[in-house]
């Protein structure tokens, strides 16, 4: 009997709740779409940008979509030179993408490039950047330091760089490197006379490890006491902390070899390493963009940090249009390639 009473009570409660449903139309003011222009312009390269329209997050989880009906007019030192044609290209995954690419203009150091972009549904946008001068008289040296942690000791390869500081105003830079490391493997661990092969690990490192305050924000940011230390995700720096006529800094790679003797490689066996170091001068717009992006990445890991807006120099729109100039510097030890040696390659993720 009691079971029947409970069943009736539950049934009437469910009917009552169902009858109380009311549809409420959620009204959300739609923010007008803005043009999004993204282009990082390298010296001695073709001018290329991607153009899209911002989307409302309420109707789409994407921030913007590419468009092909914009008109992008390019100016060099305030003189109109061409309208960038629309190109349907393929990205590195084979997917189609829309780009606006110059047919006649190559970016030159010291020149200022401007864009005026129009599109029927959005407000006209403008942007401008100047390609910076390259670094001068850059030099690279190396040293090995035995690093001790709680459980083991192993060598760190330090790479020291310096270049001329030939200006009075603050300038901006970025550094990253590609690494190749070759280690000889023999057919038998007891017979080094066998041919074997050299296993080559290679990869790109955009996050540069350093205990130099110029590169490492942990050395100058007291806020890293709270939970998560900051990191220089993009390897950017300025010459603000430097004195004299030279900019000097250092960084290291601790993944060469777990050898407690301090020897990085055995060059007599065919071991080698090679670092291709890319040192870029950045326009102010490029530095502000990378710096604010880095702050946003770091703050996303901090529960108490305020949100960071990523820098944009697109007037009336969103995105970034900035220039940079890169020089390549190589450091190596050991011979590569060796005639008659067998090489096997593995692509590695270096962080």
- Where are the domains positioned within the chain? 35-130, 139-311+324-347
* Burial (Cβ within 10 Å: 0-12, 13-18, ≥19) of residue 266: middle
Please give the order of strands across the beta sheet that includes 122-130.
79-83, 71-76, 112-119, 122-130
Distance CA 289, CA 128 (A): 14
DSSP letter at 116? E
Q: What is the pLDDT of residue 220?
A: 46
- 3-state percent helix, strand, coil for the chain, nearest multiple of 5: 15, 45, 45
pTM: 0.82
Rounded distance between C-alpha atoms, residue 157 and residue 263, angstroms: 10
State residue 224's pLDDT score. 45
Under 8 Å between Cβ of 72 and 82: no
CA distance 230 to 215: 12
Fold of the CATH domain 35-130: Immunoglobulin-like (2.60.40)
Instruction: Report the pLDDT value the prediction gives residue 306, as an integer from 0 to 100.
Output: 75
- pLDDT at residue 193, rounded to an integer: 52
Residue closest to 163 by CA, chosen among 62, 245, 260: 245
Q: Which of 287, 327, 344, 288 lies closest to 311 in space, CA to CA?
A: 288
pLDDT at 2: 53
| Residue 320: both structure tokens together | 């970034």
**Peptide bond between residue 337 and the one before it cis (omega within 30 degrees of 0):** yes
Two tokens at 289? 């963009």
Full pLDDT tens readout for the chain, 351 residues = 555 555 555 555 555 555 555 566 655 556 788 999 999 999 999 999 999 999 865 555 555 688 999 999 999 999 999 999 999 887 767 778 899 999 989 999 999 999 999 999 999 999 999 999 999 999 999 988 877 777 777 778 899 999 998 777 889 999 999 999 998 887 655 455 556 899 999 999 888 889 898 988 654 444 444 444 578 889 999 998 888 889 999 999 875 554 444 457 788 888 899 999 999 999 999 999 999 998 888 777 666 667 788 999 999 999 999 999 999 999 998 999 999 899 999 998 765
Question: What is the pairing mode between strands 86-90 and 64-66?
Answer: unpaired
Q: What is the pLDDT of residue 318?
A: 95
């Amino acid at each position: 009997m009691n079971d029947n009473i409970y069943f009736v009570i539950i049934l009437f409660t469910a009917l009552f709740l169902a009858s109380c449903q009311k549809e409420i139309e959620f009204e959300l003011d739609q923010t007008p779409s803005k043009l999004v222009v993204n282009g990082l312009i390298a010296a001695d390269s073709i001018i290329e940008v991607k153009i899209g329209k911002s989307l409302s997050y309420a109707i789409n989880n994407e921030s913007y979509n590419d468009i092909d009906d914009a008109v992008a007019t390019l100016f060099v030192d305030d003189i109109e030179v061409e309208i960038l044609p629309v190109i349907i290209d393929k990205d590195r995954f084979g997917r189609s993408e829309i780009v606006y690419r110059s047919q006649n203009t190559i970016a030159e150091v010291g020149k200022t490039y401007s864009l005026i972009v129009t599109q029927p549904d959005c407000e006209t946008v403008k942007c401008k950047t100047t390609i910076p001068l390259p670094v001068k008289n850059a030099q690279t040296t190396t040293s090995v330091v035995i690093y001790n942690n709680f459980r083991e000791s192993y060598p760190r390869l330090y790479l020291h760089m310096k270049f001329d500081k030939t200006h009075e105003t603050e300038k901006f830079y970025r550094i990253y490197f590609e690494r190749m490391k070759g280690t000889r493997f023999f057919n038998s661990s007891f017979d080094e006379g066998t041919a074997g092969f050299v296993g080559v690990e290679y990869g790109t490192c955009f996050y540069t490890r350093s205990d130099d305050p110029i590169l490492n924000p942990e050395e100058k940011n007291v806020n890293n006491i709270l939970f998560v230390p900051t990191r220089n995700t993009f390897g950017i720096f300025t010459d603000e902390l430097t004195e004299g006529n030279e900019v000097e800094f250092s960084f290291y790679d601790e993944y060469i070899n777990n050898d407690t003797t301090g020897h990085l490689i055995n060059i007599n066996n065919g071991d080698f390493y090679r670092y291709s170091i890319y040192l870029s001068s950045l326009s102010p717009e490029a530095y502000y963009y990378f710096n604010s992006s880095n702050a946003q990445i770091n703050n996303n890991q901090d529960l108490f940090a305020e949100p960071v807006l990523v820098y944009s120099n697109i007037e009336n729109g969103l995105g970034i249009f900035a220039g940079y100039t890169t020089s390549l510097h190589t450091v190596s030890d050991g011979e590569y390639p060796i005639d008659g040696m067998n090489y096997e390659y593995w692509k590695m993720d270096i962080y």
